[in-house]
Amino acid sequence: MTTNAPASTDFVREIVAQDLRTGKHGGRVATRFPPEPNGYLHIGHAKSICLNFGIAQENGGVCHLRFDDTNPAREEVEYVESIQEDVRWLGFDWGAHLYYASDYFEQLCQYAVQLIQDGKAYVCSLSPQEIREYRGTLTEPGRDSPHRTRTVAENLGLFQRMRAGEFPEGAHVLRAKIDMASPNLNLRDPVLYRILHAQHHRTGGVWCIYPTYDYAHPISDAIEGITHSICTLEFEAHRPLYDWLLEQLPVPSHPQQIEFARLNVSYTLMSKRKLLQLVEQKHVSGWDDPRMPTISGLRRRGYSPEALRDFCERIGVAKRDNVVEFALLEHCLREDLNRRAARVMAVLHPLRVIIDNYPEHQVEQVDSVNNPEDSSMGSHTIPFSRVLYIDREDFQEDPPKGFFRLSPGREVRLKDAFYVTCVGVVKDEQTGAPMELHCTYDPETRGGRSADGRVVRGTLHWVSAAHSLPAEVRLYDHLFLSADPGADDGGAGFTQGLNPSSLEVLTQCRVEPSLAGAAPQNCYQFLRLGYFCVDPDTAGERLVFNRAVSLRDTWARVQKEQQGQPSKGQSGRAGRV
RNA sequence: UGGGGAUUAGUAUAGCGGUAGUACGUCUGACUCUGGAUCAGAUAGCCGAGGUUCGAAUCCUCGAUCCCCAGCCA
């Protein structure tokens, strides 16, 4: 991974630079990425990862990976493993700095005892319902809990017994004693510890009281010597509590919390809860379904770490709510793959073509450049023979204006091979659909060039029928119909907005023989179609490809225009194919 | 009606009192053995109203709109 100079600057980096200048944290920079292991990472996390690890890298600092595992009810090892894999795959390294909030449970508990001893925390035995009632509302102050005045000794005893497992869940909580009349609801005696009789994925059954995020996070940061604790906007109102706790306790440092706006991307969702629901209700095949905005989904789809990092750099970091266009993500991928992906030919909807004047059993190898953008990638050969396949949409019997592919009587170039002219069409008697084309070829145009300088408008991709390999190709479109699927739902009904045609499976595809044995995750440009990535479902003879992103397609746009559909707006629709 | 944030082209983001820039998108054109890529050009913006100032996107005042907070979630 490249150690990039601070090419981009944003308000967070400005704060860090300023602190470095003034020596606020002794010239140190330590950040942390603190995921809760309750789901897979998505591209919104990628933004945070790039920010946190990026800032550390740029300033010779460190970035910790810390699992915020304070709620055993929803956390699993599967998630902690996938998270590590995804961060690593993205290109970042936490070195020895892998931590868990659960590493600090004992310390956290001791600090809680200290708060009690200092009269700054108390055990409250109100029910959850009552606590809510006592909290007041946005406009009315809350009321003190009747247990707020318990003695230190009483609190100590109760807390001890909470820890010892003497009470059922919900019987008591430990609360900070701050101010029930605070206009900031987070300061109205927030809960610090609750009783949870659950098996924790790391500590097992050792604990039955667990710290809340509000309590565990600032202290974990402080213990690790984090200098800048970067989080998203919704925690802004929690910052006074973050600071309050660190001021009360003899912690080794006082990190600075900085909030930035989380990423939203059009046509998709970033809520882990909703993504989980898509997985559990089988709307997608799993967390790594190529339509998912998860890092594992994007990886399977064919996105490279480079493209994702580039994207994260381009979207910037600020404090206003935002929805980044999916088109920008696609642009980043195209730019990366254009530079690196080998060009091959594949026919998605095969239409048989017979070259009438080509010798029956002859086969010849034509040369094809692997990547016109990079000559060092060399070339390979492709077999040409009498019977070929081209894509159905490259032929029209009655072509509209502007169509310069194959049609009766017209000559086109078969990429890297010969000029061919359509001399006949065999049609389905029922439907009238073309079933087979007859063409003649000009032997003088081998390699796709003619000596007489005659021009052909169209160049088509093709494969040799006998030599090509069968393949399954999966085409993807946006998971949701709406550009902002998270906006207009009350919570549960968001699956109504799912795009019913977000996945199209093509099973009759033919690809050139050089693709035999292509390894999963390898990406190719299928000439004139798009970038396709070998899916892990590929095994043995069975080739499966995912379309990562289509090529820009001006003809598809023109066609839509002709059909009266404005082509403006969002790209990424299944324009071609 | 409480508190905390935010507001610059379609989208994202710069601008930190001195001609409002960049990227993506969209549209033109050139070029092309990918209707790709590339290249050239175009498009379009400071939430509003007052004020301070020689000069305001930037400072002040008032207003508008949007987001977050009433989990023993994070």
Print pLDDT tens along chain A (577 aa). 333 334 569 999 999 999 999 999 999 999 999 999 999 999 999 999 999 999 999 999 999 999 999 999 999 999 999 999 999 999 999 999 999 999 999 999 999 999 999 999 999 999 999 999 999 999 999 999 999 999 999 999 999 999 999 999 999 999 999 999 999 999 999 999 999 999 999 999 999 999 999 999 999 999 999 999 999 999 999 999 999 999 999 999 999 999 999 999 999 999 999 999 999 999 999 999 999 999 999 999 999 999 999 999 999 999 999 999 999 999 999 999 999 999 999 999 999 999 999 999 999 999 999 999 999 999 999 999 999 999 999 999 999 999 999 999 999 999 999 999 999 999 999 999 999 999 999 999 999 999 998 989 999 999 999 999 999 999 999 999 999 997 655 556 899 999 999 999 999 999 999 999 999 999 999 999 999 999 999 998 899 999 999 999 999 998 888 876 654 443 333 333 3
| Nearest-nucleotide field for A373 (CA, C1') | B37
CATH code at A69? Answer: 3.40.50.620
Measure Cα distances from A341 to A91, A337, A574, A575 in Å.
Answer: 20, 5, 21, 21
| Nearest-nucleotide field for A35 (CA, C1') | B74
- The letter for the amino acid at A490 is G
Mean of all residue pLDDT scores within chain A: 95
- A365 near A383, Cβ under 8 Å? yes
Query: End of a domain among A470, A490, A506?
Result: A470
3-state helix/strand/coil string of A87-128: HHHHCCCCCCCEEEHHHHHHHHHHHHHHHHHCCCEEEECCCH
The whole-angstrom separation of Cα A511 and Cα A504 is 18
| Nearest-nucleotide field for A445 (CA, C1') | B33
User: Quick check: is A560 catalytic?
Assistant: no
A493 and A449 in a common domain: no
Query: End of a domain among A449, A470, A491?
Result: A470
What six digits make up the tokens of A480?
A: 């949701």
The whole-angstrom separation of Cα A361 and Cα A476 is 39
Catalytic hit among A161, A262, A319, A446: A262
A68 and A193 in a common domain: yes
Does the model's ipTM exceed the 0.90 cut?
yes
Residue nearest to nucleotide B38 (CA to C1'): A373
A111 and A67 in a common domain: yes
A271 located within any domain: no
The whole-angstrom separation of Cα A507 and Cα A509 is 6
Confidence (pTM): 0.96
A286 and A323 in a common domain: yes
HSE, CB side, 13 Å, CA atoms: give it for residue A381.
6
| Nearest-nucleotide field for A566 (CA, C1') | B26
Catalytic hit among A272, A334, A386, A413: A272
A572 located within any domain: no
Q: How many CB atoms lie within 10 A of CB A51?
A: 22
Catalytic hit among A36, A58, A259, A306: A36
Beta bridge partners of A228: A256
Distance A9 CA to B56 C1' (A): 25
In A247-406, the DSSP E strands lie at 256-260, 342-344, 346-347, 350-355, 363-369, 379-385, 387-391
Residue nearest to nucleotide B4 (CA to C1'): A237
User: Quick check: is A325 catalytic?
Assistant: no
Cα angle vertex A239, ends A233, A243, to 5°? 155
User: Quick check: is A36 catalytic?
Assistant: yes
Q: What is the pLDDT of residue A568?
A: 42
Alpha helices, DSSP H, located in A283-429: 295-301, 305-315, 326-340
Distance A319 CA to B21 C1' (A): 20
| Nearest-nucleotide field for A231 (CA, C1') | B74
Query: End of a domain among A226, A260, A294?
Result: A260
Range of the domain at A55: 11-260
Distance A571 CA to B27 C1' (A): 15
A400 located within any domain: yes
Q: What is the pLDDT of residue A492?
A: 62
A6 located within any domain: no
Distance A318 CA to B57 C1' (A): 17
What six digits make up the tokens of A283?
A: 């709307």
The whole-angstrom separation of Cα A289 and Cα A282 is 10
A457 and A480 in a common domain: no
A571 located within any domain: no
Distance A132 CA to B70 C1' (A): 7
A138 located within any domain: yes
Q: What is the pLDDT of residue A7?
A: 53
A352 and A487 in a common domain: no
Burial group, residue A327, by CB count within 10 angstroms (0-12, 13-18, 19+): middle
Chain centre distance of CA A264: 11
Distance A543 CA to B33 C1' (A): 28
A265 located within any domain: no
| Nearest-nucleotide field for A527 (CA, C1') | B34
Distance A131 CA to B63 C1' (A): 38
Residue nearest to nucleotide B34 (CA to C1'): A528
Q: What is the pLDDT of residue A491?
A: 55
Q: What is the pLDDT of residue A62?
A: 98
A220 and A369 in a common domain: no
A109 and A45 in a common domain: yes
A201 and A117 in a common domain: yes
A165 and A54 in a common domain: yes
Q: State how many domains chain A has.
A: 3
Q: What is the pLDDT of residue A564?
A: 67
Q: Strand A363-369 to strand A379-385: parallel, antiparallel, or no bridges (unpaired)?
A: antiparallel
CB-based contacts of A375, cutoff 8 Å, min separation 6: A369
Q: What is the pLDDT of residue A82?
A: 98
Distance A174 CA to B49 C1' (A): 51
HSE, CB side, 13 Å, CA atoms: give it for residue A459.
12
A567 located within any domain: no
A83: three-class secondary structure by DSSP: helix
| Nearest-nucleotide field for A132 (CA, C1') | B70
Q: Which bases of strand B sit closer than 7 A to a protein CB?
A: 1-8, 10-16, 23-27, 33-38, 66-74
A102 and A248 in a common domain: yes
Q: What is the pLDDT of residue A21?
A: 95
Measure Cα distances from A461 to A382, A389, A406, A413, A529 in Å.
Answer: 12, 9, 11, 9, 9
- A195 near A167, Cβ under 8 Å? yes
A163 and A47 in a common domain: yes
CATH code at A398? Answer: 2.40.240.10
Nearest to A230 by CA among A9, A11, A4: A11
